[in-house]
């Protein structure tokens, strides 16, 4: 026990130093991926520039070669498919054991080639998983124990998001709200250090600018706050539809037993969309920028909204490498722009046009991901807009509530749940992760554990309660100690039991 307390004292110092290294390299990989994606966006314009027999023939050849490469990469690194965010959570909870080197390689090559074909997928998920994968590599090289390794992976994932969108605070919030779903200094501090470091690398190599060039010059006035509520309702409904579309698309592609049929179907759709509706290909960064500069017609925006939902769902459902944040933001921007067209005839809202787009982006993130604080901070950092936190908060809360009322699962929770049912993804080497690790859990005010003594609690697995932090005082726990709201409980547990224990404390 004395050794455990000594390790606890060294833990923060070790992971803070390690997070500097992790942030540096996670930033480099994220910048590399952004550079590759930007080049693929450029070359994709030439591929779909003109429809004729020659260009169609070239695209078919590309489709065959790229399908083969992506298929082989996913065979080599099964956990590299999709966004990578559920995989990182599974890695932290001891359910997955990704091959970090193959995952890095698969994510960069597969994601880049998919973007060249025009898949409607983003760069943030791959950046998050690449950051986590590289952190795992560093942790192994430095021979870090399992608990430190998990916090390093968390810091790497946060750094990946920070560098992908130049949003260091969002990277930190993402680690707490989405990956660990609790507040802990063991998550907060290393994630913050790694995110800031990665963001510095991004600024150094790509320029000191926000992810998007547009921003709100004036906050939506209080007497128009009802507009934020309407946008929240709209994005809440659209977000629910989007999540269901993703799940249905996964079910559809699961029926394809032959990879030839699967990729043939996907590539046929990609080529058709590339020639018929090029605007919705790729992640959609350029489209969102253009949307903020000029007002499109309602017909075009509706087409983008519907097309982006269906096409992104099909691309993601196929299991290829790529994330959903950026396409989701385009959908949100379309919702905001449509709402503007709805009210502009009756209200003087001309100067608030960009506000509508930003509010739509936050609202859709809240309904899809169900992480309200992340939705506010991420969009605020990406657009360098901190003047309208009140309407942003109203949109996010409204959208969140609407999505909950629709009883549609949060996207990453559901995707993680589905991956756990895939026996091919669960680690065959899980016992290698079976060493004891330190985890900290914060007791929520609605927890069923409140008011119970430690001896009265029936824990799902064998654990050791190391300490309880209450009102900034650390207690050495005894069997008769009562759990109180806000307690931070430091637990020594087996990594393989982490998921069950995590669910128990956060229930």
Domains located in the chain, CATH noted:
2-206 (1.10.3080.10), 222-258+267-420 (1.10.3080.10), 434-505 (3.30.70.1450)
- Tell me the per-residue pLDDT of 425-453, one tens digit each, with 9 for 90 and over: 776 544 333 456 667 777 877 788 888 88
Helices marked H in 296-409 — which ranges? 298-317, 325-343, 353-369, 372-383, 389-405
Q: What number is the average pLDDT over the span 40-55?
A: 91
Q: What is the DSSP string of 382-399?
A: HHT--S-HHHHHHHHHHH
Query: In the sheet that 488-494 helps form, which strands lie side by side, from edge to edge?
Result: 436-442, 488-494, 464-470, 473-475
pLDDT band at 495 (very low <50, low <70, confident <90, very high): low
What is the total residue count of the chain?
Answer: 507
Assign 436 to helix, strand or coil.
Answer: strand
Q: What are the phi and psi torsion angles at 473 (to 5°)? A: -110, 140
Cβ–Cβ < 8 Å for 68, 100: no
Residues with Cβ within 8 Å of 40's Cβ and at least 6 positions away in sequence, in order, are: 112, 113, 115, 116, 282
User: What is the rounded CA–CA span in Å between residue 331 and residue 344?
Assistant: 20
pLDDT band at 1 (very low <50, low <70, confident <90, very high): very low
Write the pLDDT tens digit of every residue in 381-432.
Answer: 888 777 788 999 999 999 999 999 999 999 999 999 898 888 777 765 443 3
Question: For residues 153 and 350, what is the distance between their CA atoms, to the nearest angstrom?
Answer: 45
pLDDT tens column, 341-358: 999 988 888 889 999 999
């Amino acid at each position: 026990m004395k050794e455990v307390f000594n390790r606890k004292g060294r833990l923060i110092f070790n992971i803070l130093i390690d997070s500097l290294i992790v942030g540096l390299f996670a930033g480099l990989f994220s910048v590399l991926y952004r550079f590759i994606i930007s080049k693929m966006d450029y070359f994709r314009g030439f591929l779909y520039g003109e429809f004729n027999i020659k260009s169609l023939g070239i695209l078919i050849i590309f489709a065959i070669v790229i399908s083969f490469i992506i298929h082989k990469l996913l065979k080599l690194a099964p956990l590299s498919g999709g966004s990578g965010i559920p995989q990182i959570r599974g890695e932290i909870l001891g359910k997955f054991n990704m091959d970090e080197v193959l995952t890095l390689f698969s994510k960069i090559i597969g994601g880049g080639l998919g973007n060249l074909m025009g898949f409607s997928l983003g760069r943030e998920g791959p950046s998050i998983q690449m950051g986590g994968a590289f952190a795992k590599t560093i942790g192994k090289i430095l021979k870090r124990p399992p608990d430190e390794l998990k916090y390093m992976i968390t810091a790497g994932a946060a750094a990946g998001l920070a560098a992908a969108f130049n949003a260091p605070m969002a990277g930190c919030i993402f680690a707490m709200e989405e990956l660990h779903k609790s507040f802990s200094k063991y998550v907060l501090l290393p994630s913050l250090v790694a995110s800031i470091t990665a963001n510095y690398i991004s600024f150094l190599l790509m320029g000191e600018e926000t992810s998007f060039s547009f921003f709100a010059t004036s906050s939506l006035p209080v007497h128009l706050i009802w507009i934020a509520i309407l946008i929240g309702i709209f994005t809440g409904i659209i977000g629910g539809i989007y999540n269901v579309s993703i799940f249905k698309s996964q079910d559809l592609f699961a029926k394809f037993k032959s990879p030839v049929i699967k990729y043939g179907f996907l590539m046929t759709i990609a080529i058709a969309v590339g020639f018929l509706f090029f605007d919705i290909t790729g992640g959609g960064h350029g489209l969102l920028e253009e949307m903020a500069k000029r007002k499109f017609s309602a017909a075009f925006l509706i087409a983008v909204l519907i097309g982006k939902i269906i096409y992104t769902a099909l691309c993601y459902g196929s299991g290829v490498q790529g994330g959903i944040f950026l396409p989701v933001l385009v959908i949100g921007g379309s919702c905001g722009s449509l709402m503007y067209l709805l009210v502009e005839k009756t209200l003087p809202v001309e100067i608030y046009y960009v506000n509508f787009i930003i509010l739509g982006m936050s609202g859709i993130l809240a309904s899809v991901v169900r992480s309200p604080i992340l939705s506010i901070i991420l969009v605020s950092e990406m657009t360098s807009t901190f003047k309208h936190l009140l309407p942003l908060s109203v949109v996010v809360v409204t959208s969140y509530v609407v999505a909950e009322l629709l009883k549609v699962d949060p996207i990453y929770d559901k995707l993680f749940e589905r991956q756990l049912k895939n026996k091919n993804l669960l680690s065959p080497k899980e016992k290698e992760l079976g060493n004891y690790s330190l985890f900290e859990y914060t007791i929520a005010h609605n927890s069923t554990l409140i008011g119970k003594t430690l001896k009265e609690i029936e824990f799902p697995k064998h654990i050791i309660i190391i300490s309880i932090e209450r009102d900034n005082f650390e207690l050495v726990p005894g069997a008769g100690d009562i759990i109180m709201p806000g307690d931070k409980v430091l637990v020594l547990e087996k990594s393989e039991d982490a998921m069950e224990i995590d669910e128990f404390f956060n229930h």
